[in-house]
Amino acid sequence: MTARRLPTKGFTLAEVIVGVAVFGVLVIGTLTLIWTSHRILFPRRIEDGGRVLCVAPSATTFADAVVLHGQFIEQLKNARAVYVFGGVHPSLPPEASQLTVKPLTAGELPVITDFTAGLPLGPLKFYQLYQNALGPMVISPNAEDFTVVVIGPRNRRIELTAMVQVRRSSSSVSDGGSSESFARWDVRYYDAEGNNSDYAFLEHVDVAGSAAIGATHNWYRYQEGVVAEEGPVAAVFPDPWRHPGNRIAADFQPPSFSRFIYLLHVTR
Amino acid sequence: MLPGDTNHRQRGSAGLALVFLVAVVMGSMLMLHTAAVISVGNTARALDLAQQNLTMNAQLEQLTAETALNVRCAGYQPSTLSYQEAIHNLAALIPSSDAIVSISSAPSTVPILHWYPVLGGTPETLGAPSADLTQMATPELRELLGANVSESTTFDVNYRTSREVRGANINYDTTVACRLVAVPLSRYRISGYDMPEDIGAADSAVGWPSSFAPTDIMPRGLVPGRDPAALARLVTSPNRPGHYRRRALLAEAYQYVFSQRYYDRVADYAGTTHFCNVDGSVANPILTGGSGASGIYSLDVGRFGQGQLGSLTRTSSAAVFYSTMAGSRLVLTDSVGSGSAVFLLVIGPASAASGQIELEISGSIGRPIVIVAANANVTAGPGTVVNGALFLDPQCRVSAGNGPVSIGHVSYWLGSTTVTTNAFRPGVMPAAAAALSPRVIYAATLTRSL
């Protein structure tokens, strides 16, 4: 009687191939998730201008942005007038180009408590009336830079209640022989209650270049020397996360858009 | 058990354990990642809600103001609806796709603003906008208000906005304060006005007097060329933009000024002792400073005040002069040059086709005066100064060859081809005359923080 030879091999070739494939997928998936989660939860931080900034997307910077915009919305609720300095004017005829104004340089909330000179229907006239309090304009702003000035009631008087400054600047990081270019976004908020908040972050220039950040002015009507009346301004603020959180990597390309979008009315 | 079975099972268990371990790590990371994304999403949704409330606040302010205007001055006659009924009707028009708006409390009535002439009452005096009004007014409204207004008291409307968020019902309570304000139409020294039809704001509540019905030749408004301050490329929508809501209010106010109801109101106030036929075809009351014969009536405005009809003698600040025939003439002079303000309503024949009443301002008028003229041909000598306001209906005619006339205020129909633009130049508008000018009503609102 001959004894049957028992198998000594643990897996068949097919089992090994399937096992390696499954394992590989799981490992790759895990590493991807770990990498993505790490990038989101612990975004890359770079020191720029003496301040450590996150490279978008950044959940923590997004939280800071929400706090700032929550304060801004509170001021907008009772706003009687909102003036936006800086931005583009696609609907304005070329002959009215002198009505465009640049962002303000103000680094703190201008104080205007006497509005007997009036609340005009456009930012240029507003600037001309209250130039002493508003200070100078930025000489060479970026296209994305703008300043929002909110006028509203406070203690039963009309006052300048809030201001937001949005700035874009360039930043590069050198690492040995290579360097990376970033766009830096700074958003600063000031209000009459003394609340100052801000958020800032870096963004790869390729992504920043495709994001439609800035102020777009609309005009109701214009006639030189007679009337200059602005419509609502579409103001798009920088978003360190991007709605609805689908920018899962720093080099993620649109479609993605800022959650912080407003239609700001000079009057209503 | 054979040795090979043991090895096989051990290797299999190790493989399963490894896969399980990787799965646990991967699941944990997935949960962490999901938690982060959800956290950001929730924060973002909270911000979205705040932005939605911002929009809703603007809607509620508009709802409050529009209802007040509809109830109080749509067609410049009080609505038969109470404020509560009207606001419920209007609120029902708000789309309820994402929020349900309910009105917690609203006043049953809104304050009434009285202005000259008020039969048996006193018109509100004009004054600078109050601090309460100033803080409520937007730039456009502030521009329209000017320095002299009359205001109502503030009334509140309380709203509750309900939204369902992730299965939970969230309520927001909002209070909107509203204040009506009346502004003299003499606010601007020279005003070109629209009629409601011109800007697509026709209001059937106010009918033109049949004898003054406008014709179809009236051009449409708010199109390039009609609005002197409009650019063709910026006014492209055929619909009436919300931006022109207050312009529509102005148009309604002017329509009322040239309506039968306003003429009746002035006639009631002036009384029979100050109701004169310029044609001389019927017996006239005897006005101090007035005399007339054969279709020419002269009035010395400086001496105007007392009127007598039979045994009835009254003193009034207002008078009505009318004509049913072409060519009758009313000549105004002023031998005194001062005094309290007077108000004259001058009405010509049924239509311009039937001829017009001639309104001749013979020499300067120093006494504060408000003249509302319908279907009149206004003439004045060069250098004439009128210390007051002149409101011209769309059929009036003013010849530039006779001017320019220096005047505190003039209103003319923007579409008129019979009022030349250089017929007037701005003069002094006395406060006493402004107080007698017809007024337009606006509404100012403000959301109150709770």
**Digit-coded pLDDT (tens) for B331-385:** 999 999 999 999 999 999 988 888 999 999 999 999 999 999 999 999 988 889 9
Q: What is the pLDDT of residue B344?
A: 98
> What confidence tens digit (pLDDT) does each residue in A108-152 have?
999 998 888 888 888 999 999 999 999 999 999 999 999 999 999
Mean pLDDT to the nearest integer, B38-57: 83
Q: Range with the lowest mean pLDDT among A31-45, B5-19, B342-356?
A: B5-19
Q: What is the pLDDT of residue A144?
A: 93
Residue B221 pLDDT greater than 70, yes or no = no
Residue A189 pLDDT greater than 90, yes or no = yes
Q: How far is B425 from chain A (nearest CA, A)?
A: 17
Residue B57 pLDDT greater than 80, yes or no = yes
**Which of the four pLDDT bands, split at 50, 70 and 90, describes residue B243?**
low
Q: Which of residues 142-181 of B touch A (CB under 8 A)?
A: 142-143
Please report residues of B whose CB lies closer than 8 A to that of A38.
none
Q: What is the pLDDT of residue B35?
A: 76
Q: How far is A201 from chain B (nearest CA, A)?
A: 17
Please report residues of A whose CB lies closer than 8 A to that of B46.
66
Residue B204 pLDDT greater than 50, yes or no = no
Q: How far is B445 from chain A (nearest CA, A)?
A: 10
Q: What is the pLDDT of residue B133?
A: 93
Please report residues of B whose CB lies closer than 8 A to that of A221.
227, 229-231, 234-235
**Rounded Cα gap, residues A233 and A127, in angstroms:** 17
Residue B431 pLDDT greater than 50, yes or no = yes
Q: Range with the lowest mean pLDDT among A11-15, A57-61, A181-185, B145-149?
A: A11-15
> What confidence tens digit (pLDDT) does each residue in B370-406 have?
999 999 999 988 889 999 999 999 999 987 665 688 8
Q: CB contact, 8 Å: A245 with chain B?
A: yes
Q: What is B14-48 written as a DSSP string? A: HHHHHHHHHHHHHHHHHHHHHHHHHHHHHHHHHHH
Residue B162 pLDDT greater than 60, yes or no = yes
- Cα B421 to Cα A237, B221, B378: the distances in Å are 47, 18, 14
Q: How far is B188 from chain A (nearest CA, A)?
A: 14
Q: What is A121-178 written as a DSSP string? A: SSHHHHHHHSHHHH-PBPSS--TT-EEEEEEEEETTEEEEEEEEEEEEEEEEEEETTE
Q: What is the pLDDT of residue B129?
A: 94
**Which of the four pLDDT bands, split at 50, 70 and 90, describes residue B226?**
very low
Binary contact (A153, B136; C-beta < 8 A): yes
Residue B151 pLDDT greater than 60, yes or no = yes
Mean pLDDT to the nearest integer, A183-198: 95
**Percent of chain A at pLDDT exceeding 70:** 84
Which residue reads 């930025």 in tokens?
A138
Residue from B21, B142, B172 whose CB has the most chain A CBs within 10 Å, to mutate:
B142
Residue B69 pLDDT greater than 80, yes or no = yes
Residue A100 pLDDT greater than 50, yes or no = yes
| Mean pLDDT (chain B, rounded) | 81
Q: What is the pLDDT of residue B9?
A: 66
Please report residues of A whose CB lies closer than 8 A to that of B44.
62, 66, 241, 243-245, 259
**Which of the four pLDDT bands, split at 50, 70 and 90, describes residue B301?**
very high
Q: How far is A142 from chain B (nearest CA, A)?
A: 27
Q: Which of residues 183-202 of A touch B (CB under 8 A)?
A: none
**Which of the four pLDDT bands, split at 50, 70 and 90, describes residue A10?**
low
Q: Which of residues 215-274 of B touch A (CB under 8 A)?
A: 227-231, 233-235, 241, 243
Cα B167 to its chain centre, rounded Å, is: 43
* Nearest one of B74, B111, B67 to B89, comparing CA atoms: B67
Residue length, chain A? 268
- Domain boundary assignment for chain A: 45-264
| Mean pLDDT (chain A, rounded) | 84
Residue B328 pLDDT greater than 70, yes or no = yes
Binary contact (B12, A243; C-beta < 8 A): no
Binary contact (B47, A93; C-beta < 8 A): no
Q: How far is B39 from chain A (nearest CA, A)?
A: 9
Q: Which of residues 41-80 of B touch A (CB under 8 A)?
A: 41, 43-44, 46-48, 50-51, 53-54, 57-58
**Which of the four pLDDT bands, split at 50, 70 and 90, describes residue B237?**
very low
* Nearest one of B424, B388, B381 to B405, comparing CA atoms: B424
Do residues B349 and B357 lie in contact, with contact meaning Cβ atoms separated by under 8 Å?
A: yes
Q: What is the pLDDT of residue B212?
A: 30
| Rg of chain B taking only CA atoms, in angstroms | 33
Binary contact (B26, A33; C-beta < 8 A): yes
**Which of the four pLDDT bands, split at 50, 70 and 90, describes residue B449?**
low
**Which of the four pLDDT bands, split at 50, 70 and 90, describes residue B23?**
confident
Classify burial at A11, counting beta carbons within 10 Å of its beta carbon; exposed 0-12, middle 13-18, buried 19 or more. Answer: middle
Q: What is the pLDDT of residue A7?
A: 57
Q: CB contact, 8 Å: B140 with chain A?
A: yes
Please report residues of A whose CB lies closer than 8 A to that of B135.
80, 153, 156-158
Binary contact (B7, A11; C-beta < 8 A): no
**Which of the four pLDDT bands, split at 50, 70 and 90, describes residue B450?**
low
Nearest beta carbon to residue B131 from set A59, A91, A156: A156
Considering B49-58, B140-149, B160-169, B269-278, the range whose residues carry the highest mean pLDDT is B269-278
**Which of the four pLDDT bands, split at 50, 70 and 90, describes residue B224?**
very low
Measured from the Cβ of residue B252, the count of other Cβ atoms closer than 10 Å reads 25
* Nearest one of B374, B378, B340, B343 to B359, comparing CA atoms: B378
Q: Return the higher-pLDDT residue of B207 and A56.
A: A56
Q: How far is A37 from chain B (nearest CA, A)?
A: 5
Q: Range with the lowest mean pLDDT among B5-19, B199-213, B376-390, B421-435?
A: B199-213
Mean pLDDT to the nearest integer, B140-165: 89
Q: What is the pLDDT of residue A140?
A: 93
**Which of the four pLDDT bands, split at 50, 70 and 90, describes residue B203?**
very low
**Rounded Cα gap, residues B137 and A158, in angstroms:** 9
Task: Classify residue A243 by its DSSP letter.
Answer: B
Helix (H) or strand (E) holding A179: strand A178-191
Q: What is the pLDDT of residue B241?
A: 47
Q: Range with the lowest mean pLDDT among A50-54, A248-252, B71-75, B355-359?
A: A248-252
Q: Which of residues 99-128 of A touch B (CB under 8 A)?
A: 115, 118-121
Q: Return the higher-pLDDT residue of B409 and B198.
A: B409
Nearest beta carbon to residue B29 from set A33, A244, A259: A33
Cα A192 to its chain centre, rounded Å, is: 23
Q: Return the higher-pLDDT residue of B191 and A202.
A: A202
3-state secondary structure of B338: coil
Mean pLDDT to the nearest integer, A93-116: 90
Binary contact (A221, B4; C-beta < 8 A): no
Q: CB contact, 8 Å: B39 with chain A?
A: yes
Closest-approach residue (CA) in chain A for B132: A156
Considering A116-125, A139-148, B31-40, B49-58, the range whose residues carry the highest mean pLDDT is A139-148
Q: CB contact, 8 Å: B450 with chain A?
A: no
Closest-approach residue (CA) in chain A for B3: A8
**Rounded Cα gap, residues A164 and B449, in angstroms:** 22
A66 φ, ψ to 5°?
-65, -40
